Structure 1
Amino acid sequence: MNFQEKGTLLFHRIRNGLLKARLSNLARQVAQDRLTYLPPEKLIRIETYARLATADDVPGNLLEFGVALGGSAIILAAQAARRKRLFFGFDVFAMIPPPTSEKDDDKSRERYRIIASGQSEGIGGDTYYGYRDNLIDDVRRSFAKYGLPIDGKSRFLCKGLFEETFPKYDGMVAFAHIDCDWYAPVSYCLNHISRRLSAGGVIVLDDYHDYGGARTATDEFVKQNPEFELIAGPNVILRKRR
């Protein structure tokens, strides 16, 4: 490793350390327990905007679409509990469905090919979450460990495709985190969550900069819905104007 490479590595280590220092103790512990793939800069924005979106004058619950191991879901459930809101986590809790739209890019298809082939790696040498036989039970145990049991009263995990499970939800939404990679599910979530999102409410999109389909779905939605403000960043924020 040459001098320039060492300097770059040191810079990133210092930057990462400074970002981690801005996280809540809960978010740091979730990351330490290998329950989230999200880097500190994304977790910071989730925590910040979840607080803003659960102000007293923004009615609604906190939702996540794409729970995976449950790390960011636990963070949102804790915020929901603090603000006396409900938390709902939506996921198939199994192998992620494939990208099916012509608007998905080659990167998305290659990523799915790796997952489907059984070659995807988990965090820190763990088994990739999509290969686990009882993922939803693992997520339930993680919630319970953090003192946030899935009780069917204030916290819910909804297993199945979004188009099968979300229509059963009849509440308002203050905050939603969309982390489902491909064009079709991102487009579905945006178009259906937005109908229940309160003024001042927030949608966070994890994959805008990662997969072309997620970006296209978001850009299309923003163009068609001028009442939403797009706030750029590592995970894009859509805020519904008051």
Structure 2
Amino acid sequence: MSPEMVQELEAQLKGGNVSLWEKGYYAFLRQSVLQEHQERFPLFSYDYSKRVVLYAWVSSNILGDGPIDFLEFGVFRGDSFLRWLALNKHPQSRFFGFDTFSGLPERWDAGRSEKGCFDAGGKFPEVSDPRASFVPGLFQDTLPPFAARFEPQGRLVLHLDADLYSSTLFVLMTMNRHIRPGTVLIFDEFIAEDEFAAFHHFCKACLRQWRILAARRDLHKVALEITV
């Protein structure tokens, strides 16, 4: 962080803008943490509409043709959910989609999205695949009973697209009992003060270690593997 940026942040902090200081801190922390993970991994260049590039690479090179338990947090209209159904055809794979289906439960500052944004009108994506099911409601209400009875049968894949720090951290902490070395985590918006911060705090609290499998070149969309 340049001296000019530090001075600007100090001025903003003195003026009462604590949120800007927090953003600067997590941006610096994210950069530092990612620099520690210098293992070689593929970097892709693509826009949002072509994010299947990352999914396809993970499916082909990491997961293979075996059964998976795919849990997506933040489904909206089901674009990525449907793509994963198409990528993995194993009959014993299971796909669970978690969402309020009525929009964000709180404002998402980094995405400049108000509470209620991404409202699917309470409707689930149209899916005929019997391997797929949806769990509507707040994660804080629906995930604890699900996690208590859930028994992984295939390799666990968590697709985290909840955007919010609060939602992402809650998912990770609640699913920690099922996360093992080899679990794959895919972050759709690995933004410093939200999904990254939640993941960083989760790893600190639960003594987790990880490696990057693949990512978009800006590292805002990443696939990780838990190693410890």
TM range (shorter): 0.5 to 0.7
- Indicate whether 1:175 and 2:131 are aligned: no
- Give the alignment's TM-score, normalised by structure 1: 0.61
Q: 2:93 corresponds to which residue?
A: 85
The letter of the residue matching 1:38 is Y
Q: 1:133 to 1:226 in 2, by over 3 A?
A: closer
Q: 1:227 to 1:59 in 2, by over 3 A?
A: farther
Specify which structure has the higher proportion of helix: 1
User: What is the distance in 1 between the residues matched to 2:62 and 2:189?
Assistant: 20
Q: 2:123 corresponds to which residue?
A: 135
The letter of the residue matching 2:58 is Y
Secondary structure of residue in 2 paired with 1:239: strand
Q: 2:20 corresponds to which residue?
A: none
CA-to-partner distance for each residue in 1:186-238, whole Å, 9 max, x for gaps?
101122233213432200111113x6222211222233433322455331222
8 Å contact from structure 2 (residues 95, 132) kept in 1: yes
Q: 2:193 corresponds to which residue?
A: 212
Regions of 4+ moved over 6 Å: none
Secondary structure of residue in 2 paired with 1:238: strand
CA-to-partner distance for each residue in 1:46-96, whole Å, 9 max, x for gaps?
22223445347x874111100011010011123343363111111111121
Correspondence list, 1:1-242, <5 A: 38-40=48-50, 42-55=51-64, 60-82=68-90, 84-99=92-107, 106-108=109-111, 110-112=112-114, 116=116, 129-130=118-119, 132-136=120-124, 139-140=125-126, 143=127, 149=128, 151=130, 154-167=131-144, 168-169=146-147, 170-172=150-152, 174-209=156-191, 212-224=193-205, 225-230=207-212, 233-241=219-227
Q: CA deviation at 1:174?
A: 1.7
CA-to-partner distance for each residue in 1:123-161, whole Å, 9 max, x for gaps?
xxxxxx51x43432xx12xx2xxxxx154xx21111111
Number of aligned residue pairs: 175
The letter of the residue matching 1:165 is T
Q: 1:190 to 1:219 in 2, by over 3 A?
A: same
User: What is the distance in 1 between the residues matched to 2:91 and 2:57?
Assistant: 14
8 Å contact from structure 1 (residues 61, 171) kept in 2: no
- Give the alignment's TM-score, normalised by structure 2: 0.64
User: What is the distance in 2 between the residues matched to 1:74 and 1:241?
Assistant: 28
The letter of the residue matching 2:198 is A
8 Å contact from structure 1 (residues 59, 198) kept in 2: no
CA RMSD of aligned residues (A): 3.0
Secondary structure of residue in 2 paired with 1:82: coil
The letter of the residue matching 2:106 is P
8 Å contact from structure 1 (residues 77, 86) kept in 2: no
Sequence identity of aligned pairs in percent?
A: 22
User: What is the distance in 2 between the residues matched to 1:51 and 1:84?
Assistant: 17
8 Å contact from structure 1 (residues 89, 158) kept in 2: yes
